Amino acid sequence: MKKTSSLKDTNTLLLPDGRQLGYAEYGDPDGKPVILLHGNPNSRLLYGLMPDCPFRPGLHLIAPDRPGYGLSDFYLPGHSIVDYPDDIVALANALGIDKFAVFGASGGGPPALACAWKIPEQLTAVGLWGSAGPFTPQSSEGIYPGLRVLYRLSSRAPWIPRMQMGLMSFVIRHYLGLYLKLVFTEMNETDKALYVRLGLRERLRPDRTEGMRQGGRASAYDINLTGRWPIPLEQISMKVHLWQGEEDRAVGGMGRYMACKMPKCEATFIPNTGHLWVFEHMGEMLDTLVPPDGISESE
């Protein structure tokens, strides 16, 4: 397979099925590898824009654009998130990496879980932050009302989230300032304070536009996954570290629901914390997945 590279955060790989995968690399190329999966609607740029990236020495961070985001082509017909681990294996092989940790934030949680299900033998650790999960009466508790409606419609009328995310992609690409104002009004007070303190409004602009480079198809796909959940959580045999803020209204009860379903889930729920806690605490979670002494859970 062909690999081309330009800038540190703009690399592309031609996958075996002919699709393109975009990815960024941060940190030490000889460090312990961690594949970071971004949320919805983000891109490979997200982690590089976080304060303190690459978070600590000795890490090789690889952040791919998930299918349909940024530079990565969407799934071929007949393929879905259950096939996504094949993309990750191809990326690891191209970079000469045998085993690696995987971390998924928000909408990046489900593909991380797909990897834990399908390729546990290649993973040293799995971590989730504020992960999306199956939409059920139990997991829906505490989610923003508007988002809860979209999740509910995902199983009944998936065309509505597609239409909504298409509109959102148009606003992001042409009226980004308006979109950022709307996002801010929907945050809880904890997230608003962090958003202002870290200057995320300006810091994340490149990621927002890059994430929607191809429109809203991938974003709608992520929304619709919650109502048509394809990953058997009870079949995930390896330990999964799950972190979530107790005031996270983007995913509400999804974390607790998944923690009860996975046989080996180590769940941590942080009080007085919303969805954006990740921007100040990535290093702590990475220390758990890849301890500074270099000893992984699988060794």
Q: Which of 189, 188, 191 is nearest to 201 (CA)?
A: 191
- Which pLDDT score is estimated for 259? 98
Separation CA 129–CA 241 (nearest Å): 9
Mean pLDDT over residues 55-79, rounded?
Answer: 97
CB neighbourhood size of 177 (10 A): 10
Separation CA 178–CA 172 (nearest Å): 8
Q: Which domains does the chain have, with CATH numbers?
A: 3-289 (3.40.50.1820)
Separation CA 88–CA 126 (nearest Å): 14
- Which pLDDT score is estimated for 297? 53
User: Does the model's pTM come out above 0.75?
Assistant: yes
Instruction: Report pLDDT digits (tens) over 208-249.
Output: 999 999 999 999 999 999 999 999 999 999 999 999 999 999
- Which pLDDT score is estimated for 299? 44
Query: CA-CA distances (angstroms) from residue 101 to 33, 158, 181, 299?
Result: 6, 32, 35, 12
- Which pLDDT score is estimated for 292? 86
Instruction: Report pLDDT digits (tens) over 85-95.
Output: 999 999 999 99
- Which pLDDT score is estimated for 7? 46
- Which pLDDT score is estimated for 8? 81
Instruction: Report pLDDT digits (tens) over 96-115.
Output: 999 999 999 999 999 999 99
Instruction: Report pLDDT digits (tens) over 134-165.
Output: 999 999 999 999 999 999 999 889 999 999 99
Mean pLDDT over residues 53-62, rounded?
Answer: 95
Separation CA 35–CA 19 (nearest Å): 19
